[in-house]
Amino acid sequence: MPRSRIDIPETIHYLSILDEHGVLDTELEPQIDDKTLIALYSAMLLGRRFDERMLDLQRQGRIGTFPPIKGQEAAQIGSIFQLKSTDWFVPAFRETAAEIWRGRSLESILLYYNGFNEGTIIPADQRDLPMAVPVGSQILHATGLGYAARYRGTDEIVMTYFGDGATSEGDFHEGLNCAAVYQAPVIFICQNNQWAISIPLKQQTHSATIAQKALAYGMPGIQVDGNDVLAVYTAAQEAAERARNGDGPTLIECVTYRVMMHTTADDPSRYRDDEEVERWRQKDPLTRFAVYLQNKGLLDQSREQEIETEVLAKIQTAVDSAEKQMKTLGEPLDMFNHLYAKMPPSLQCQKEEVRQYLANNTGEVHHG
Amino acid sequence: MAKMTMVQALNLALKQEMAQDDSVVLLGEDVGPDGGVFRVTDQLIDIYGKERVIDTPLAESAIVGMGIGMAIHGLKPVCEIQFSGFAYQNFHQLENHAARMRWRTQGRLTVPMVMRAPYGGGVRALEHHSESREAYWAHTPGLKMVIPSGPRNARALLVAAIRDPDPVIFYEAKGLYRAFREEVPEEEEVMEIGVPQLVQEGDDVTFISYGAMLRPALEAAEQLAAEGINVEVIDLLTISPLDDRLLIESVKKTGRAVIVHEAPRSFGAGAEIVSRLLEGAFYYLEAPVQRVTGYDIVIPYFSREKAYMPDTARIIKAARATLNT
Ligand SMILES: Cc1ncc(C[n+]2csc(CCOP(=O)(O)OP(=O)(O)O)c2C)c(N)n1
Ligand SMILES: [Mg+2]
């Protein structure tokens, strides 16, 4: 009856390939073709510029409250690139760059943040869930999707995203536990941006890392430099292979930083110093990736300018088109639609009540 | 007396209760240095420290579940759930434990706890931030469900909630947080939980409302007054347990009633009130009781929110229906 050490099969690694100064570990460098590298860069830049434009629009009162993603582009784009269109994407609410990569239109994002239900319509061929605002709640859906994908004999995998704060919710623990129990093909991406509104990571968990929580559930976990797109890409590639081979789920902790406010309604000066933010701004994911591409001879000033111009044009077109669409949307009677497969009689009555009310009170004719 | 917003009045209630009773503790997400996302707990951590103003990890079940433990130990926890739309994460702690601890232990263990949460629409918020689901809690035996309608009664009712020996769910209408100011006395003011208030007397029709909907009800009453229609207005303040005596008395006088709430119509507070009126004032009713409410749908994203929320015009229309004018 000894007191002996129990060896737990996994260990936790930290992975960094391209550091904040743009210095590369050539041994760890993933083999990615030139076209894909430029696609990664363009997707990150689009995420960045669209975020900046949304902030302008919000400040001008042209969209409502939204959560900026600035600084988290590598964590999102490096990971989402591993999904095929037949795989499933289960976002939280701060994955705008990943959502765009999956095919969500910029217009739909603008509609959503302008309070139009039309902004959550998902194209029929897209295997994406809508954003989940209740923190951590979507994690279990990913596990269920993964289970179903296996049950139905497909080779689909599932990738879900959440923040550091979400790891405190019961749903996170239940989702990981069940995924491991069923060896479901799910990749859990934690965007550890150090803050959950005003709560810093060290008040969120007493664990040294988030990655190590994977060990408790018997699945591999890895911590990566979340501002290093090559590291995120590599870790997600390994996890995707594992999932596709039937070897179960993985937890990836992307260490990154929320350089902006939590949402546009938040005032971070109440709870954190600018110095800390400034330090993280120096670790910007786009800057170092641009240096990497320059060193590889894939990006020079004119190419950079070209991509920038393309991205800005795409954003402008979307803003114009969304603002035009908004003028024709907003029929109030539509709010009754899509609640049930078949509208129950009681709801039809309520809809009719509103139709008559609006007709008598505004003189407008409604065709919801 | 100082003129205060509802946020300031709630802050005053917490500050004073914490000063005079060191068993009062606050816990929730971002209640510390951030002062809560609506600033209701602003600066309380500076006065009372982080042992009493507890910033929790992001877990509502933890906030309420720990609150129950603290309350059983003799503390008086005031739990803040950042938005009532996230109180489903702690639903089971309230339903399975807080609400019935006294009953299960035949009075030996009790849960003198408050769960505060902002609720309601009309502020152009993101989804899950505008619902009005007081009926869930009102339907749970053992809980008290309180909803103030302005700064002064918010302060006095929060003090009462903290001192109450049973668990109290305290919903704060986001739309009222900074909508207007009222005189709030510096000295202690406590209102009794469970007692509706007569806000305005009238003979022709009774309006029964609560929370953010009291204001459009009062506006409607004012517009009707210009036509010589005198409206009696009752502010429920406590949804459950519902004391119907004032309501029945009023309807016996007016013979007509309009109930206004932003929660969905079916199985809402209005449905219960109609039943009570039928039971208590059936022979006095001159017209069917009207409900002006949200519809039986998820509150739409904010571009369509106005069509969902009850407003003055809808209330006037309902009043006319009871009066046949
Ligand atoms: C269940 C639930 N509780 C509270 C909130 C309010 N809220 C929204 S985001 C957030 C912090 C989330 O932190 P984290 O998981 O780290 O994600 P981040 O915002 O940093 O991307 C909180 C408390 C919510 N949306 N859902
Ligand atoms: Mg975070």
Shortest distance, CA A237 to any CA of chain B (angstroms) = 30
- Identity at A100, one-letter amino acid code: I
User: What CATH number should be reported for the domain whose range is B197-323?
Assistant: 3.40.50.920
Residue B86 near ligand 1, beta carbon < 6 Å: yes
- Does the structure show a pLDDT above 70 at A368? no
Give the CATH class of A13-326. alpha beta
Whether the CB of B30 is below 8 Å from some CB of chain A: the reply is yes
Nearest CA to ligand 1 atom 7: A135
Annotated catalytic residue within B73, B92, B128, B129: B129
Q: What is the average pLDDT across B206-214? A: 98
pLDDT of residue A263: 98
pLDDT of residue A363: 57
- Per the CB < 8 A criterion, the answer to whether A337 and A367 are in contact is no
pLDDT in tens, B11-46: 999 999 999 999 999 999 999 999 999 999 999 999
Neighbours of ion ligand 2 (CB under 5 A): A 163-164, 193, 196
**What does the block give as tokens for A254?**
């992307």
For residue A67, which ligand has an atom nearest its CA?
1
A340: three-class secondary structure by DSSP = coil
- Does the structure show a pLDDT above 90 at B131? yes
pLDDT in tens, A264-287: 999 999 999 999 999 999 999 999
pLDDT in tens, A292-348: 999 999 999 999 999 999 999 999 999 999 999 999 998 999 999 999 999 999 999
Annotated catalytic residue within A151, A271, A279, A357: A271
The percentage of residues in chain A with a pLDDT greater than 90, rounded to a whole number, is: 95
**What does the block give as tokens for A83?**
């999904």
- Beta-ladder partners of B169: B115, B145
Q: Using a cut of 0.90, tell me whether the model's pTM lies above it.
A: yes
pLDDT in tens, B276-304: 999 999 999 999 999 999 999 999 999 99
pLDDT, mean over chain B? 98
Residue A165 near ligand 1, beta carbon < 6 Å: yes
Residue A367's pLDDT band, with cuts at 50, 70 and 90, is: low
- Does the structure show a pLDDT above 60 at A365? no
- Distance in angstroms (rounded) separating the CA atoms of residues A359 and A364: 5
pLDDT in tens, A94-135: 999 999 999 999 999 999 999 999 999 999 999 999 999 999
Shortest distance, CA B189 to any CA of chain A (angstroms) = 31
Residue partners of A38: CB distance under 8 A and separation at least 6: A293, A298, A299, A307
- In the sheet with A158-163, reading across from the earlier edge strand, the strands are A13-15, A221-225, A250-255, A186-192, A158-163, A88-90
- The domains of chain A are located at 13-326, 331-368
Which of A70, A135, A253, A272, when mutated, tests ligand 1's pocket best, judged by the most ligand atoms within 8 Å of its CB? A135
Q: What is the DSSP letter of B95?
A: I
Write the burial class of residue A275 (CB in 10 Å: 0-12 exposed, 13-18 middle, 19+ buried).
exposed
The percentage of residues in chain B with a pLDDT greater than 90, rounded to a whole number, is: 99
Length of chain B: 325
- Does the structure show a pLDDT above 70 at A288? yes
| H helix or E strand, kind and range, residue B275 | helix B269-281
- Does the structure show a pLDDT above 80 at A9? no
- Distance in angstroms (rounded) separating the CA atoms of residues B322 and B320: 5
Residue A284 near ligand 1, beta carbon < 6 Å: no
Q: What is the average pLDDT across B118-137? A: 96
Q: Which of B299, B304, B311, B315 to mutate to test the interface with A (most CBs of A within 10 A)?
A: B304
A41 flagged as catalytic:
no
A262 flagged as catalytic:
yes
- CATH 3.40.50.970 is held by the domain B2-184: yes
- Does the structure show a pLDDT above 90 at A366? no
* Contact state of B307 with A346 under an 8 Å Cβ cutoff: no
- Does the structure show a pLDDT above 90 at A360? no
- Per the CB < 8 A criterion, the answer to whether A185 and A243 are in contact is yes
- Does the structure show a pLDDT above 70 at A92? yes
The percentage of residues in chain A with a pLDDT greater than 70, rounded to a whole number, is: 98
Q: Which of A148, A211, A210 is nearest to A182 (CA)?
A: A148
Residue B82 near ligand 1, beta carbon < 6 Å: yes
- Per the CB < 8 A criterion, the answer to whether B64 and B90 are in contact is yes
Q: What is the average pLDDT across A180-190? A: 98
- Per the CB < 8 A criterion, the answer to whether B70 and B25 are in contact is yes
- Beta-ladder partners of B205: B231
Provide ipTM, 2 decimals: 0.96
Q: What is the average pLDDT across B145-159? A: 98
Cα–Cα–Cα angle for B269, B208, B294, nearest 5°?
50
- Beta-ladder partners of B77: B25
- 3-state DSSP percent of chain B in helix, strand and coil, to 5: 40, 20, 40
- The domains of chain B are located at 2-184, 197-323
pLDDT in tens, A228-251: 999 999 999 999 999 999 999 999
B294: three-class secondary structure by DSSP = strand
- Does the structure show a pLDDT above 80 at B182? yes
What does DSSP say about strands B197-200 and A158-163: parallel, antiparallel, or unpaired? unpaired
Whether the CB of B95 is below 8 Å from some CB of chain A: the reply is no
Q: What is the average pLDDT across B251-260? A: 98
Atom of ligand 1 nearest to the CA of A67: 19
pLDDT of residue A301: 95
* Contact state of B57 with A165 under an 8 Å Cβ cutoff: yes
- Distance in angstroms (rounded) separating the CA atoms of residues A193 and A283: 13
- Distance in angstroms (rounded) separating the CA atoms of residues A258 and A287: 16
- Does the structure show a pLDDT above 90 at A10? no
